Structure 1
């Protein structure tokens, strides 16, 4: 790893890939034309999930994304283009949505129908509107065979680059879910894991939103351990995992802890053939948002402790309240070679973009 010499300069010196952009629909009614019966009639009478988990104390979106006409933040293409794509001259923006039927705890057939309808809506209303958008296949992993069929249906789309699996309560390393990884590997798709609304702490649902937001990274740590120790990467060696909106400062300590335990306990998991940290460096990438705001020296040290300058992918999390601007998210003291990797090259190479 060569971090090079430091030079001042904004990100605009380099191309930019944003790996976590939340496009949204304005109303569930927009999905109805893409649904078959009986789900179309069912959803036409939908009045909400009947669940209110958290209200957000300072609002869930950027204030400039709250439009006078009451449009849902992230649902207006023209505003998104102006505030994100054009303002920062982005090469690509990866759409991850903000609607995750994958975390529904019941009505699994409906979850699959909603995921499929959302995919078709996203392709028509977003991917076909701007060539800078890259898309995600939403699936309902509650029904593994149906999830695989959805991957098969859309994998050949030229601007679909990944399968989205929100992190909730499902341990995706369990062999029950392995056909999803097999299908993604066979079609050369990344598997993106994003925090879902069912993420919990070890004690269950946190009492306050701030608790929930702070402990999100624990879910990403647990999922990384689960995938590695259940042999996903030995079984599917070309699997690539992008972890979105979970931070990254925890990665070095997790690698150390896994390696130390593996030295003593690997007889329990003989299918795990390499040191766990090697799986992290080979198969995982981590989106930068939310950056924990360390000092520039500490942030550079984190990259060094990871043992690679290829593990970080830039993301803004648009249009959320903790949006990370590419003009302020990385220290200006970072060497240009490292900024270029984080802003562009790491995502380009990991997603195998041309």
Structure 2
């Protein structure tokens, strides 16, 4: 939901519960020229000489004063939100006393066309080095993600092995395009993630279509974003990814939460009727979801505590949801306002930090409040 960022008194009110906060979705942004020092000379020419830019399929303007981002997150020189560390510190980490924030990036080759694959694999390696040097190593509260080119699974696995052992790299990130990642073609990525004890974060992108492609208006596409999350989950479950890699954990980022009960119910019913088609799947899909999936909360939908608790009851677990703000995007969710008032403090603790602590094996220890 779009959230008005309120002033300090409400932040103090939120802090009165002494809750730690782990934010599982924060977007840093790199301009193409910033990646050049991290690219080998043979790849730099794609940007410097050929003018390569990421392919964007979304045919809409985004109807907010800051476009993709909060208006106040844009830089005076015109750079978009997520481009400046000091502003991110001020508007997010300090403003809301965030303990740790997991960076999820903006540029990810997995959502792009498979063409020029070797270049895009090298680009993701450069991005990872830039992310560490520019953000993660300069701010102790920021944690990184390994970005890879999923269309080159062998190269992606090599990149995970190269940098995944860094103590502040929390996960592998795959942005969705129009490919179903449960396909065995992509399995080397999951194998490498498990080998490096990293969960996989999956995030939608401007290149994620609805079931009917791209509609006439942004509001149509944005309403239907959960469709691509459901599509990827179904692909992973029924292609047996979790049967093949039982240690794998996946967090679905920036798709919200309310679609999860429906998907559990629908997938369970289909499994009862059609499981002979997928004999390698040995458990009910809802059980697989509860064990292997987590869900970042943003964008949260407005609901009462009673409605929220009914959703928790429907999914059968308090362990599935991890708090996220989606900073600096226009529909940023403030930790002051994202969850309905009146939730049990034990559940708030799980959502705000304990579930993320349990998901990320390398999450640093929190200082008790």
Q: Same fold (TM over 0.5)?
A: yes
Greater Cα shift, 67-76 or 224-233 = 67-76
Q: Distance in 1 between matches of 2:244 and 2:62?
A: 41
Structure 1 counterpart of 2:88: 80
Q: Distance in 1 between matches of 2:264 and 2:159?
A: 33
* TM-score, normalised with respect to structure 1: 0.94
- Asked if 1:112 corresponds to 2:116, the answer is no
User: Secondary structure at 1:273's aligned position in 2?
Assistant: coil
Distance 1:134 1:271, change over 3 A: same
Distance 1:173 1:48, change over 3 A: closer
Aligned counterparts, 1:91-106, within 5 A:
91-105=99-113, 106=115
Structure 1 counterpart of 2:6: none
- Within the candidate set 283, 306, 310, 1:274 is matched to 283
User: Secondary structure at 2:155's aligned position in 1?
Assistant: helix
Aligned counterparts, 1:1-354, within 5 A:
10=14, 13-25=18-30, 27-45=31-49, 46=51, 48-49=53-54, 51=56, 53-58=59-64, 59-105=67-113, 106-352=115-361, 353=363, 354=365
- Deviation string 1:85-138 (CA, Å, 9 cap, x unpaired) is 111111110000111222221211121121111111001001100111111111
CA RMSD of aligned residues (A): 1.4
Q: Distance in 2 between matches of 1:42 and 1:267?
A: 48
Contact 1:313 1:346 in 2 (8 A): yes
Contact 1:10 1:332 in 2 (8 A): no
Distance 1:182 1:87, change over 3 A: same
Distance 1:50 1:314, change over 3 A: closer
Q: Which runs of 5+ in 2 are unaligned?
A: 1-12
Contact 1:104 1:111 in 2 (8 A): no
User: Secondary structure at 2:295's aligned position in 1?
Assistant: strand
Report the Cα offset of residue 69 of structure 1.
2.9
Contact 1:151 1:184 in 2 (8 A): yes
After TM superposition, where is structure 1 displaced by more than 4 Å over at least 4 residues in a row?
49-52
User: Secondary structure at 2:25's aligned position in 1?
Assistant: strand
- Deviation string 1:270-329 (CA, Å, 9 cap, x unpaired) is 100011100000000001000121222211211111100000000000000000000000
Q: Distance in 2 between matches of 1:298 and 1:103?
A: 34
User: Secondary structure at 1:196's aligned position in 2?
Assistant: coil
Contact 2:112 2:177 in 1 (8 A): no
Contact 1:200 1:206 in 2 (8 A): no
* TM-score, normalised with respect to structure 2: 0.91
Report the Cα offset of residue 72 of structure 1.
2.2
Report the Cα offset of residue 49 of structure 1.
4.5
Q: Distance in 1 between matches of 2:251 and 2:53?
A: 30
Instruction: Give the count of matched residue pairs.
Output: 345
Distance 1:50 1:23, change over 3 A: closer
